Amino acid sequence: MTAPFFLVSPSALAPMIGGLVRIEGSEGRHAATVKRLEIGEAVLVGDGVGHVVEGTVAAVVGKDRVDIRVTSYDEHPPPSPRVVVVQALAKGERGELSVELLTEVGVDVVVPWSASRSISQWRGDKVDKGLEKWRSTAREAAKQSRRPWVPDVRDLASTAAAVSLVREAVAGRGTAVVLHEAAALRLSTLRVPHEGDVVLVVGPEGGITDDERAAFESAGALCARLGPGVLRTSTAGTVAAAVILARTPRWT
């Protein structure tokens, strides 16, 4: 079984062999009281930006601190091509479910999108609360899947901002795709670049509007469908990302 994985701030990660990494605070409480780590137990510790050390528990101090003796160190370069998912807001907990699944499959950037037909809308205090939930979900899912890089959950985007992301990706030699069940192009036949960004736009429960689709296409996005069925907004992005990643050196 893979050793448990914990995240600390980059400043707290000591990559030197034989050095100590301290896990403390809420993460330390999880390690000491939930996981109940013991002296000598193998542990992985990352900083969420590509650096991961492997080590063994050297000390458990109280209920919220564990010291790890470093035995090896790895530096993982940023993934390429980068997969960016513009995810329409979903009702209930389906938004957090989408972030969890996207993180586990390997998506690098998640952009919450306030689409016209989104049943859920973040306004006022809901914006900060929603972002906090999505970012916390991404962090926890990255730990579960032992990801060296924690996905970047961006600020809430309007349609205009999402269109700008598409335009930037296409201009940067990447590509952009709007998932649409009526599209003629199959995503499985898409030529995936080996550099730049691959932007996937996932609409809400009610689908994207004609105006939204036109705006994305005018910015250079293609429309593509996954298969004969219609997936929920909370799962469509994950399936699409898996199709894309399977056609890149990241998986092959």
Structural domain including 41 reads 5-75
Q: What is the rounded CA–CA span in Å between residue 131 and residue 90?
A: 13
Same domain, 162 and 227: yes
How many domains does the chain contain in total? 2
Residue at which a domain ends, from 49, 75, 101: 75
CATH number at residue 35: 2.40.240.20
Same domain, 51 and 109: no
pLDDT band at 228 (very low <50, low <70, confident <90, very high): confident
pLDDT band at 14 (very low <50, low <70, confident <90, very high): low
Q: What length does the chain have?
A: 252
Residue at which a domain ends, from 28, 51, 75: 75
Same domain, 55 and 91: no
* Over residues 221-240, mean pLDDT: 93
pLDDT band at 17 (very low <50, low <70, confident <90, very high): confident
DSSP secondary structure string for all residues of 174-214: -EEEEE-TT-SEEGGGPPPPSSSEEEEEE--TT---HHHHH
Q: What is the rounded CA–CA span in Å between residue 193 and residue 251?
A: 14
Higher-confidence position of 73 and 229: 73
15, pLDDT greater than 70: no
Which of 152, 4, 112 has the alpha carbon at shortest distance from 66?
4
124, pLDDT greater than 90: yes
Same domain, 154 and 111: yes
Residue at which a domain ends, from 51, 75, 99: 75
What angle in degrees, to the nearest 10, is found between the helix axes of 159-171 and 210-218? Answer: 30
What's the confidence (pLDDT) of residue 88? 97
pTM: 0.93
* Over residues 149-172, mean pLDDT: 97
Select, from the ranges 191-195, 205-209, 241-245, the one with the highest average predicted confidence (pLDDT).
241-245
